[in-house]
Amino acid sequence: MTPGRRIEGDWYAGSVPENVVLDATAYVETSFSFTLFRSRLPAGVRYGRGASTYLGTLFDVGPQGRVTLGECALVHGARIICDAEISIGDYALISWNVVLMDTYRVPFDAAQRRRELERVPAREPRVACADVPARPVRVGRNVWIGFEACVLPGVTLGEGAIVGARSVVASDVPPFTVVAGNPARVIRPLTDRERNRHAG
Amino acid sequence: MIATPDNAVPAPGRWTHGTPPPNVLLHANALVTGELAFKRFHSTLERALVVGAHSTMDGVHFDLGEGGRVSIGDYCYFTNAVLLCELELRIGHYVMIGWNTVVTDTDFHPVAPAERIADAIACSPLGRGRPRPAVLRRPVVIEDNVWIGPNATLLKGVRVGGGAFIEPGAVVTRDVPSRARVMGNPAQIIGEAP
Residue B170, pLDDT score = 98
Residue B99, domain extent: 14-105+136-192
Q: Which residues pair with A150 in a beta bridge?
A: A99, A168
Would you say residue B75 lies in a domain?
yes
Residue B92, pLDDT score = 98
Q: Which residues pair with B140 in a beta bridge?
A: B89
Q: Would you say residue B4 has pLDDT above 80?
A: no
* Record: contact A117-B76, CB cut-off 8 A: yes
What is the domain-level CATH number for residue B156?
A: 2.160.10.10
- Report the candidate in A75, A74, A79, A73 with the shortest Cα–Cα distance to residue A97: A79
Would you say residue B7 lies in a domain?
no
Chain-centre distance for alpha carbon B191: 25
Q: What is the pLDDT of residues B132-172, one digit of tens each?
A: 999 999 999 999 999 999 999 999 999 999 999 999 999 99
Would you say residue B32 lies in a domain?
yes
Q: What is the pLDDT of residues B44-68, one digit of tens each?
A: 999 999 999 999 999 999 999 999 9
Count CB-CB contacts under 10 A for residue B75: 25
Q: What is the mean pLDDT of residues A44-59?
A: 96
Looking at every residue in chain B, the average pLDDT score rounds to: 94
Q: Would you say residue B194 has pLDDT above 80?
A: no
Residue B129, pLDDT score = 85
**Closest-approach residue (CA) in chain A for B57:** A126
* Cα(A200)–Cα(B137) distance, integer angstroms: 54
Q: Would you say residue A3 has pLDDT above 70?
A: no
Largest separation between any pair of C-alpha atoms in chain B: 60
**All domains of chain A in start order, with CATH:** 3-105+134-196 (2.160.10.10)
- How many domains does chain B contain in total? 1
Q: How far apart are the first and last CA of chain B?
A: 28
Amino acid at site A172: D
Query: Which of A99, A121, A152 is facing B54, going by the closest CB pair?
Result: A121
Handedness of CA B173, B83, A150, A40 (dihedral sign): negative
Query: In chain A, what residues touch B168 (CB-CB under 8 Å)?
Result: 99, 101, 150, 152, 168
Residue A4, pLDDT score = 65
Q: Would you say residue B6 has pLDDT above 90?
A: no
* Cα(A163)–Cα(A186) distance, integer angstroms: 9
Q: Which of B2, B31, B148, B167 to mutate to test the interface with A (most CBs of A within 10 A)?
A: B167
Q: Would you say residue A124 has pLDDT above 90?
A: no
* Record: contact A150-B150, CB cut-off 8 A: yes
Would you say residue B165 lies in a domain?
yes
Query: In chain A, what residues touch B169 (CB-CB under 8 Å)?
Result: 99, 148-150, 166-168, 182
- Report the candidate in B140, B143, B120 with the shortest Cα–Cα distance to residue B130: B120
Would you say residue B55 lies in a domain?
yes
DSSP structure class, residue B53: T
Would you say residue B41 lies in a domain?
yes
Would you say residue B142 lies in a domain?
yes
Average the pLDDT over each of A4-13, A31-40, A141-150, B32-41 and give the range with the smallest value. A4-13
Residue A1, pLDDT score = 55
- Report the candidate in A34, A153, A17, A32 with the shortest Cα–Cα distance to residue A84: A153
Q: How many residues does chain B have?
A: 194
Q: Which of B100, B101, B178, B189 to mutate to test the interface with A (most CBs of A within 10 A)?
A: B100
DSSP structure class, residue A83: S
A83 and A105 Cβ atoms separated by less than 8 Å: yes
CA distance A160 to chain B (A): 23
* Cα(A57)–Cα(A96) distance, integer angstroms: 8
Q: Where are the alpha helices (DSSP H) in chain A?
A: 110-119, 192-196
Residue B8, pLDDT score = 62
- Identify the band that residue A129 occupies on the pLDDT scale cut at 50, 70 and 90: confident
Count CB-CB contacts under 10 A for residue B143: 20
Q: Would you say residue B104 has pLDDT above 90?
A: yes
CB pairs under 8 A between A and B: 91
CA distance B192 to chain A (A): 11
CA distance B169 to chain A (A): 6
Residue B7, pLDDT score = 56
How much of chain B exceeds pLDDT 90, in percent? 91
- Report the candidate in A64, A153, A72 with the shortest Cα–Cα distance to residue A108: A153
* Record: contact A126-B31, CB cut-off 8 A: yes
Would you say residue B36 lies in a domain?
yes
Residue A14, pLDDT score = 94
Q: What is the pLDDT of residues A170-184, one digit of tens each?
A: 999 999 999 999 999
B174 Cβ contact partners less than 8 Å away, ≥ 6 residues apart:
B158, B186, B187
Q: Would you say residue B9 has pLDDT above 90?
A: no
**Closest-approach residue (CA) in chain B for A121:** B54
A198 Cβ contact partners less than 8 Å away, ≥ 6 residues apart:
none
Q: What is the mean pLDDT of residues A46-51?
A: 98
- Report the candidate in A103, A86, A105 with the shortest Cα–Cα distance to residue A157: A86
* Cα(B62)–Cα(B11) distance, integer angstroms: 22
Q: Would you say residue A156 has pLDDT above 60?
A: yes
* Cα(A107)–Cα(A101) distance, integer angstroms: 15
Q: What is the pLDDT of residues A133-148, one digit of tens each?
A: 999 999 999 999 999 9
A42: preceding bond cis by omega (within 30 degrees): no
Residue A2, pLDDT score = 52
Count CB-CB contacts under 10 A for residue A24: 7
Residue A110 CA neighbour count, 13 Å, CB half? 20
Average the pLDDT over each of A59-68, A118-127, B176-185 and give the range with the smallest value. A118-127
Q: Would you say residue B3 has pLDDT above 90?
A: no
**Given CB atoms, is B75 within the 8 Å cutoff of chain A?**
yes
**Closest-approach residue (CA) in chain A for B181:** A108
Q: Which of B29, B94, B102, B148 to mutate to test the interface with A (most CBs of A within 10 A)?
A: B94
* Cα(A168)–Cα(A163) distance, integer angstroms: 9
- Report the candidate in B79, B83, B48, B47 with the shortest Cα–Cα distance to residue B63: B83
* Record: contact A117-B194, CB cut-off 8 A: no
- Identify the band that residue A51 occupies on the pLDDT scale cut at 50, 70 and 90: very high
Residue A178, pLDDT score = 97
